[in-house]
Amino acid sequence: MSERLFINQLSEQTQVDDVYRAADKQLRANRQGNKYILLKLADRTGTLTGMFWNAEDRDFERCQDSEYLHVKGRTQIYNGNMQMIVTGISPVDPSQVDPADFDMFDASASEQAFARLKELLGSVRNIHLRQLLDACLADEEFMTRFKQSPAAVTNHHAFPGGLLRHTVDLIELAQLIGPRYPQLDIDLLTTGAFLHDIGKTEELSSGGELTYTDRGQLVGHIVIGVQYLADRIAVVEAETKSPFPVQLKWHLEHLILSHHGLLEYGSPKVPLTREAIALHHLDNLDAKLAAATSIIDSDISGDKNWTNYNPSMGKKLWKSPID
Amino acid sequence: MSERLFINQLSEQTQVDDVYRAADKQLRANRQGNKYILLKLADRTGTLTGMFWNAEDRDFERCQDSEYLHVKGRTQIYNGNMQMIVTGISPVDPSQVDPADFDMFDASASEQAFARLKELLGSVRNIHLRQLLDACLADEEFMTRFKQSPAAVTNHHAFPGGLLRHTVDLIELAQLIGPRYPQLDIDLLTTGAFLHDIGKTEELSSGGELTYTDRGQLVGHIVIGVQYLADRIAVVEAETKSPFPVQLKWHLEHLILSHHGLLEYGSPKVPLTREAIALHHLDNLDAKLAAATSIIDSDISGDKNWTNYNPSMGKKLWKSPID
Amino acid sequence: MSERLFINQLSEQTQVDDVYRAADKQLRANRQGNKYILLKLADRTGTLTGMFWNAEDRDFERCQDSEYLHVKGRTQIYNGNMQMIVTGISPVDPSQVDPADFDMFDASASEQAFARLKELLGSVRNIHLRQLLDACLADEEFMTRFKQSPAAVTNHHAFPGGLLRHTVDLIELAQLIGPRYPQLDIDLLTTGAFLHDIGKTEELSSGGELTYTDRGQLVGHIVIGVQYLADRIAVVEAETKSPFPVQLKWHLEHLILSHHGLLEYGSPKVPLTREAIALHHLDNLDAKLAAATSIIDSDISGDKNWTNYNPSMGKKLWKSPID
Amino acid sequence: MSERLFINQLSEQTQVDDVYRAADKQLRANRQGNKYILLKLADRTGTLTGMFWNAEDRDFERCQDSEYLHVKGRTQIYNGNMQMIVTGISPVDPSQVDPADFDMFDASASEQAFARLKELLGSVRNIHLRQLLDACLADEEFMTRFKQSPAAVTNHHAFPGGLLRHTVDLIELAQLIGPRYPQLDIDLLTTGAFLHDIGKTEELSSGGELTYTDRGQLVGHIVIGVQYLADRIAVVEAETKSPFPVQLKWHLEHLILSHHGLLEYGSPKVPLTREAIALHHLDNLDAKLAAATSIIDSDISGDKNWTNYNPSMGKKLWKSPID
Amino acid sequence: MSERLFINQLSEQTQVDDVYRAADKQLRANRQGNKYILLKLADRTGTLTGMFWNAEDRDFERCQDSEYLHVKGRTQIYNGNMQMIVTGISPVDPSQVDPADFDMFDASASEQAFARLKELLGSVRNIHLRQLLDACLADEEFMTRFKQSPAAVTNHHAFPGGLLRHTVDLIELAQLIGPRYPQLDIDLLTTGAFLHDIGKTEELSSGGELTYTDRGQLVGHIVIGVQYLADRIAVVEAETKSPFPVQLKWHLEHLILSHHGLLEYGSPKVPLTREAIALHHLDNLDAKLAAATSIIDSDISGDKNWTNYNPSMGKKLWKSPID
Amino acid sequence: MSERLFINQLSEQTQVDDVYRAADKQLRANRQGNKYILLKLADRTGTLTGMFWNAEDRDFERCQDSEYLHVKGRTQIYNGNMQMIVTGISPVDPSQVDPADFDMFDASASEQAFARLKELLGSVRNIHLRQLLDACLADEEFMTRFKQSPAAVTNHHAFPGGLLRHTVDLIELAQLIGPRYPQLDIDLLTTGAFLHDIGKTEELSSGGELTYTDRGQLVGHIVIGVQYLADRIAVVEAETKSPFPVQLKWHLEHLILSHHGLLEYGSPKVPLTREAIALHHLDNLDAKLAAATSIIDSDISGDKNWTNYNPSMGKKLWKSPID
């Protein structure tokens, strides 16, 4: 299995005969009433849509319960995106595959990022924030999910582990930039950066397809984050047997609540403190640059200078490097 | 003291010689550097701005610590608003006044409204909501503040007790309208109406001048409301020793979070359930009608048909009754 | 014909061999130049799109003039919507069908609603409004169209008779809610609710497909409603030989003109009176709840909790009942 | 009286001792409770605010019923605007003044403009539009008001006669530009230009201060214009004993309803025909240029190149001519 | 070749066997993986999409380098647009075709328009503007491109030569309308109209498909226009050995920069001078009328009164002429 | 003169008897027609408004031509701002003052910042950018103005030298952050940061009051910056006798043009390259943090936790430090 052609190695018109994880499988009818199977094929390097035209009910039934499929077919460009025209599928026993080939979540990169996170948080000197961060890091079950969570369903950091990656990047930005503005409280900014998107751990479901959870849709990561903060502060108060400073709690809540910057972007409060203003702009900087890089890196348009139009950015991007 | 002329009985050019509560007192300089005292005079029927021109420092010092003042002066219309030109003030011993004359918070009306609230909530049959409401009503300290809270700093229900009044009105609307839409869960709608603005108890400060608290400005009543709900659900779970249904909790959170209807009005989620849609529109109906009625009732413009321009409505209102 | 399977009884993969009304029929070419017939099939319970692939010109010609077709085919889900793959059509003589099976307009429900409307309007005591309402109800030709008109082309109450249904609901809301706000003139609010959408009788065409009329597109139901009001007031003045009170007329015009609430929603005036504010919010409440209910009731997404994304609402709705 | 200094001849620090029309007079108190009289002084060349400080009640009473006042005072610049510091006022008998000096409405200019209007309308050849225009021109009472109406309360053409002036200008633009676009029906465009603002005759009150009428506020000139059109079409139909073509009527209604161009500017319909598009843009062109010219011509800022900031334009304008 | 059926002469279901210019050719796969050739066929009267289904690689290779193709096929209406179902293509030697049949750029119309442009610009008397215009007209290479440039990629004047046509129309409007507003400097307005879109010569690429250039996307026609103006002023200064008046230069720059009217439409400055206000509104008038006429003239909807919905206008237009 | 009380050392009710620079002096009349002198007093630490009530014409005339005034008076808080009630002014001979006390422009800080700028720019390795930066730095006359220019009239960096300070800060941010995003070209980002606001050198006038120049209002700093870039590129091309790479020029223009991020903020292009996205967000971060710090540092509200409402931010800021 080590010789496999990974998804990010496929180019147009490649003949494929290999094993993939089926992140999604649906038996559908087209407008004319003919059946086909729509597959979302995945390995650790990416995902690819597969179309198995004129499929039979039994093709689908045979594979319905298999996570891994042996797939035959050929790649095509359709509407500017790569897809696979599948001509045959058969179930594969999970024991036959090397899970490391199929897991988009790069556990070792994640552990490395988590070690870096702990190192960065280690710089926080304020005793209350120190205790709070320790209480978060000690929440092992939650931290396991935190490490595997994406930061978004599309756009920037939309992969398992993306949330941790974005969080580490943001704290690094905060610690680089912070000292240039002597009025900023770096401990507070660091803690706010750690917490700002922590609710995404519960807002997004990272098994198989990236989707929103029911709680995510009804409550949203911003308020879930505030709820998780309350939970951890309760732990700190129980351990220290003394109340967490109430203004500091409000300030942390405010950092989470206001980080989208404007009401119309879903923040119920606009940033009213220097740290909240800094956090919002640093988050925006990292998210927008990560999104642009991901769009440019994965662009397959034929144009040398410009990407395809990206609907969530609302524009084409210029790819051309300086020379 | 029973013969006093209350603030809502004053008309233009009335000679005044009576006792008022000084909700606010400030010694100020005008542009020319002359000092004056700006007073916010209050009794249970309303508030009135008083200007004591060419005041001396000692006028101010003598009264600085007195909650009640004997005031001499004369009313005037200035820029379409009534004010009092004060010519003398002297401190009054609180033991000399009947507190009932000065308290905008009408305790007996409030108790009556609270009784009605309990009666309305009594109709809720769902066992979990029943337990939750009981846990709220049993929180005596909080309920005391709830009864005295305004619903807003300006606009609708901007007086101590206004929050309770608006809450009762909204539940009554919900129970009137609800049965017409068989898909609506009235228990849920009733509970949502009870909870929707409960965070205002902590967002607004009702002693003296109506203002926002620090927590109110940093966190806001919508999220404070969700936090209070969490607190009460924890009480229910402790009492019943069984978990509160999680989807029901999310639905209640969603009702609070989405009741402003749009992100740009400060709701981090738009209404996604029938009950949330109903709650938002009923809240809007009651708030807008209460605001219009308050503007028309307190209007002092000379125009028979039209109120003065109201900045928060962004328009003049038509006062004229049908004949 | 009484054993027929109605459209709202069809589920996926149902074999169909029955008679339907053809609300629309078009012979089309697909991108490859192959012909197909697109059918809009209807009975009194709903409509369904039918696709007759690889049709011949003569299939179309044979049925072109028939309102009723005998249809053979099979249902499918396509893109989340039910459709029928048609394999054969033949014309049916209208004399062979029971019109009651095919008429979305439920005449008896409509007569019942109209009786209720007259009862509700009967409560109006103001003599001028009384005369005006009588003059409207006496306009038999118009009332016949009013009873059959939809309230919209899509969204809420989008079926023949929907306008009357929405109007009755709105007046009932007004009469339930009104007495809670003593400043509201219920006679005026009732009359405004009756008139607010009356221009839709001329804006929308309810024969076959729901569409906009030329007058509807150029003038719109808001102004058409004001024009109908003028016409009826002229009748009242002719009958009573005395002028209708001019301020009352303006107030009625204002209620119609401002009921969308904001200029950007097509109201040339924002609500400036208490009755106009109440009417706008009650209309919004009923329209939004009716739309949500209709979306949830007709949703066919596989998700237990969430409907499909609804473009006109701009969101998915939560279907899950309380338990 | 022929030697009078007209308002547009006054400059800073001019000593004044002359007769003016008092368009408005109010006895007011300032914040300190001192009384003053606020005067709006007018003659045919313009208006000027006068402040009579420390006035006595009897100063006001003596002049309360006089339309004309003999005024003594001195001009000042205050906040970039000219005002008069009044030191004395006395009533003047109307028989002592030459009304021509005080009437902003220039009757002879208006008659000249009306003659030009009739000439321009005379070019319309379409028989139905011809009859409609004749029915309008024959409505003498209405035409008398039309000639004296302003086109706005502030901004462009805000003087009695301004509506006629703007209407004539717009028809001239239409007849100049129209022939360049062969698809435009000039008869229709001319008639639309004549009718587009005709409702302002009822929306604005031109006696004394320019203000909105009750009907203007509740209904608005756009719908009033459509109502006047209906009235005139009824006259034509009565005279010709034949129906006015219904599509032509809708098109005329559409021209009036859509001339503001966008819903948010108060048009309940956006322009959907070539003539409506042309009318909207020509109206905008004339209104914006007239407003800019009026701002620049009446600007009294000390800056050689830039006017004062104009709130309704939201900007300063560049005054500098090319050299 | 003179008997050819031009593209604007084709109607539905026309059998085609003729030569076209292939403005674009792409070999594509459909969802099922089958290949087809997508053609953009052109002659001087318009363009038409052609679909060659089930094409072979060799069909494509044979024609890949040919500008002209002999095409066999049949026209169809698909989704309201005309397309051609192509059944065969073969390369044609350019020497066999009459280029005049295939060039959308009508050189003689363009020369005629250019002569008219020079005549219109000849009226400018201001010496500096005179020298500037001469320096532009003397820039032969640039003027050649100016004559062939479209004014837009879609919407109004979207054809080679469209920019010159729109420019001439706009100057004619300016010279017609200008004299009605005595404060307008017609020389300046004329020069501004000539320059306002001149940057489109570099923003748009007019060979084959109309597209944006790299410079067009990165810099935009508004700033490119200001750059071209600087270049020409440098030429004038070199020739006259005297500086161009600096305020006049700023005014010309302002006319170009502000002609879109609002920041959100891409103008970095709003119009602040009378000439800039006039230029913006005249440009809008001509662009919107030209767009409406083009939509109505090319509409192929079956509806007698209404065009298809036009996405860039955001509406359907009324086609019906007066009768 | 070394013992003077500087403006930033004044507190409420301070008796003043010292020399100030009169940045502005105006003789005005108040509403009552009484004259007063409005002074803008300045020294190197700040500015202060002074009001000399009931001034005489000769007070003004005597001082009209003096840049420095000896001022007697007393400080006051008025509407939350400090002002001085002036009781006497007399002219001071410039030779008697130490210019260093009165110059807000801190020349030595500026030279230090300029040295830092040169050091930062020294890191640029790309040969073309290297030559361009050298050509800018060699433009001594321009650099002198660049060093003294403010970055804004209000809000952030609104003092002479503020532009250089903001530019240095932004380049430092770019060089700190840049290496974290390997796709970013730091040379390009550094050069873009240097150039982004360079047009402010011509847009703002820094002598006396900070104001906009005529060119600034008509053309704006964004386009002026692009013009200055063109000028310097011409110098480079003349010196190197080879063309500057055209794509690189467009990219630099794009960085300047798009740095406001959105059209509605005055950028005629939105950021389309990674460097443009990074530059916009870094500029926003520095500008918003600098503005917040300046608002909090200069706040004089009595509230311990909150600043006064700031109109350009549209909110109050939280001042409270963590404890």
Per-residue pLDDT at F191: 98
Share of chain E above pLDDT 70, in %: 97
Could you report the per-residue pLDDT of A23-75, keeping only the tens digit for each?
888 888 888 888 999 998 988 888 889 999 999 889 999 888 888 999 999 99
Could you report the per-residue pLDDT of F68-87, keeping only the tens digit for each?
999 999 998 887 788 999 99
D123 in the same domain as D85: no
Does the pLDDT at position A206 exceed 80? no
Range of the domain at E289: 107-295
Q: Which two tokens stand for residue E94?
A: 């350019």
Could you report the per-residue pLDDT of E101-140, keeping only the tens digit for each?
887 788 888 999 999 999 999 999 999 999 999 999 999 9
Structure-model confidence comparison of residues A274 and E45, the more confident one? A274
E115 in the same domain as E89: no
Mean pLDDT score, D225-243: 97
Distance CA E279, CA E173 (A): 10
Residue among D214, D106, D99, D221 at smallest CA distance from D160: D106
Could you report the per-residue pLDDT of B72-108, keeping only the tens digit for each?
999 988 877 889 999 999 999 988 888 888 877 788 8
Distance to chain B for C107, nearest Cα, Å: 22
Mean pLDDT score, E194-211: 86
Per the DSSP assignment, residues forming a β-bridge with B35 are B29
Q: ipTM of this model?
A: 0.87
Residue where one domain finishes, among candidates D101, D130, D164: D101
Residues in chain D within 8 Å Cβ distance of C218: 250-251, 253-254, 269, 272
B257 in the same domain as B237: yes
- Asked if B270 has any chain C CB less than 8 Å from its own CB, the reply is yes
Alpha helix (H) ranges present in chain C?
A: 57-63, 107-121, 127-137, 140-148, 162-177, 186-195, 200-203, 214-218, 221-240, 246-257, 274-297
B161 in the same domain as B56: no
Cα-based distances in Å from A98 to A20, A21, A68, A206, D113: 11, 11, 11, 20, 91
Per-residue pLDDT at B322: 53
Mean pLDDT score, B9-31: 88
Strand boundaries in chain B, DSSP class E: 15-29, 35-43, 46-53, 68-78, 81-92, 204-205, 211-212
Distance CA F87, CA F52 (A): 6
Q: At E77, which CATH number?
A: 2.40.50.140
Q: Does residue E64 lie in a domain region?
A: yes
Distance CA D74, CA E130 (A): 49
C202 in the same domain as C68: no
The answer to whether the beta carbons of residues F193 and F185 sit under 8 Å apart is: no
Q: Does residue C168 lie in a domain region?
A: yes
Does the pLDDT at position B252 exceed 50? yes
CB contact under 8 A, A250 and B219: yes
Q: Chains C, D in contact: 3+ Cβ pairs under 8 A?
A: yes
pTM of the model: 0.90
- Torsions phi, psi for E232 (to 5 deg): -75, -35
- Asked if C33 has any chain E CB less than 8 Å from its own CB, the reply is yes
Per-residue pLDDT at A2: 47
The CA-based angle F257-F258-F260, given to 5 degrees, is 110
Per-residue pLDDT at E322: 53
Residue C54's region, left for phi above 0, alpha for psi from -120 to 50, else beta, is left
Which residue is closest to D249 within chain C, CA to CA? Answer: C215
pLDDT bucket at B321, cuts 50 / 70 / 90: low
- Asked if B317 has any chain C CB less than 8 Å from its own CB, the reply is yes
Share of chain D above pLDDT 90, in %: 62
Does the pLDDT at position D194 exceed 50? yes
Q: Does residue D315 lie in a domain region?
A: no
pLDDT bucket at D209, cuts 50 / 70 / 90: low
Distance CA B132, CA C128 (A): 51
Mean pLDDT score, A295-304: 80
Share of chain C above pLDDT 90, in %: 61
Per-residue pLDDT at C208: 60
3-state secondary structure B252-279: HHHHHHCCCCCHHHCCCCCCCCHHHHHH
Does the pLDDT at position C257 exceed 60? yes
Beta strands at D35-43 and D46-53: parallel, antiparallel or unpaired: antiparallel
Q: Does residue A306 lie in a domain region?
A: no
- How many CB atoms within 10 Å of residue E175? 15
Per-residue pLDDT at F103: 77
The answer to whether the beta carbons of residues A155 and A293 sit under 8 Å apart is: no
DSSP structural state of residue C8? G
Mean pLDDT value across chain D: 91
Does the pLDDT at position A323 exceed 70? no
Residue indicated by tokens 């300089």: B29
Structure-model confidence comparison of residues F167 and E312, the more confident one? F167
- Asked if F34 has any chain D CB less than 8 Å from its own CB, the reply is no
CB contact under 8 A, A78 and E217: no
Distance CA A17, CA A19 (A): 7
Mean pLDDT score, E32-38: 89
DSSP structural state of residue E318? B
Strand boundaries in D64-218, DSSP class E: 68-78, 81-92, 204-205, 211-212
The answer to whether the beta carbons of residues E228 and E252 sit under 8 Å apart is: no
C91 in the same domain as C46: yes
Cα-based distances in Å from B322 to A36, B261, B297, F55: 67, 33, 16, 57
Residue type, D103: D
Distance CA B60, CA B37 (A): 7
pLDDT bucket at B208, cuts 50 / 70 / 90: low
Distance to chain D for B85, nearest Cα, Å: 6
Residues 6+ apart with CB under 8 A from A281: A261, F281, F284, F285, F288, F289
Residues 6+ apart with CB under 8 A from E87: E52, E72, E73, E74
Per-residue pLDDT at A1: 40
Residue indicated by tokens 């000692």: B58
D170 in the same domain as D56: no
Distance to chain A for C303, nearest Cα, Å: 11
Share of chain C above pLDDT 70, in %: 97
- Asked if C257 has any chain D CB less than 8 Å from its own CB, the reply is yes
Counting as low any pLDDT under 50, the low residues of chain F are 1-2
Cα-based distances in Å from A164 to A2, C292, D37, D73, E6: 29, 38, 71, 76, 62
Per-residue pLDDT at A18: 93
CB contact under 8 A, B226 and A222: no
Structure-model confidence comparison of residues F199 and B56, the more confident one? F199
Q: At C250, which CATH number?
A: 1.10.3210
Nearest CB to A33 within list C74, C305, C316: C74
Interface with chain B: mutation pick from D57, D212, D214, D215, highest number of B CBs within 10 Å: D214
Residues in chain F within 8 Å Cβ distance of E246: 215
B95 in the same domain as B111: no
Per-residue pLDDT at F209: 65
Q: Does residue E264 lie in a domain region?
A: yes
Interface with chain F: mutation pick from D14, D85, D319, highest number of F CBs within 10 Å: D85
Coil, helix or strand at residue B20: strand
Distance CA F43, CA F155 (A): 19
CB contact under 8 A, D268 and C214: no
C224 in the same domain as C92: no
Interface with chain E: mutation pick from D177, D283, D313, highest number of E CBs within 10 Å: D177
Q: Does residue F177 lie in a domain region?
A: yes
The answer to whether the beta carbons of residues F136 and F130 sit under 8 Å apart is: no
F261 in the same domain as F116: yes
Nearest CB to C85 within list A28, A32, A214: A32
Does the pLDDT at position A280 exceed 90? yes
CB contact under 8 A, A74 and E214: no
Could you report the per-residue pLDDT of C56-83, keeping only the tens digit for each?
889 999 888 888 999 999 998 887 788 9
Domain total for chain A?
2
E61 in the same domain as E115: no
Q: Which two tokens stand for residue F167?
A: 């530019």
Per-residue pLDDT at C248: 97
Per-residue pLDDT at C23: 81
Distance CA F223, CA E268 (A): 8
Does the pLDDT at position B148 exceed 80? yes
The most confident of C102-111, D79-88, E195-204, by mean pLDDT: E195-204
pLDDT bucket at D1, cuts 50 / 70 / 90: very low
Does the pLDDT at position B231 exceed 50? yes
Share of chain E above pLDDT 90, in %: 61
Q: Does residue C314 lie in a domain region?
A: no
pLDDT bucket at E207, cuts 50 / 70 / 90: low
- Asked if F269 has any chain A CB less than 8 Å from its own CB, the reply is no
Q: Does residue F318 lie in a domain region?
A: no
Identify the weakest region by mean pLDDT among A148-162, B48-62, E170-184: A148-162
DSSP string, C257-279: HTTT-SGGGT-SS---SHHHHHH
pLDDT bucket at D156, cuts 50 / 70 / 90: confident
Give how far the C-alpha of residue B11 lies from the chain's centroid of Cα atoms, to the nearest Å: 25
Interface with chain C: mutation pick from A26, A30, A32, highest number of C CBs within 10 Å: A32
Residue where one domain finishes, among candidates F101, F134, F164: F101
Per-residue pLDDT at A106: 81
Which residue is closest to D223 within chain C, CA to CA? Answer: C223
Identify the weakest region by mean pLDDT among A142-146, B58-62, B168-172: B58-62
F90 in the same domain as F183: no
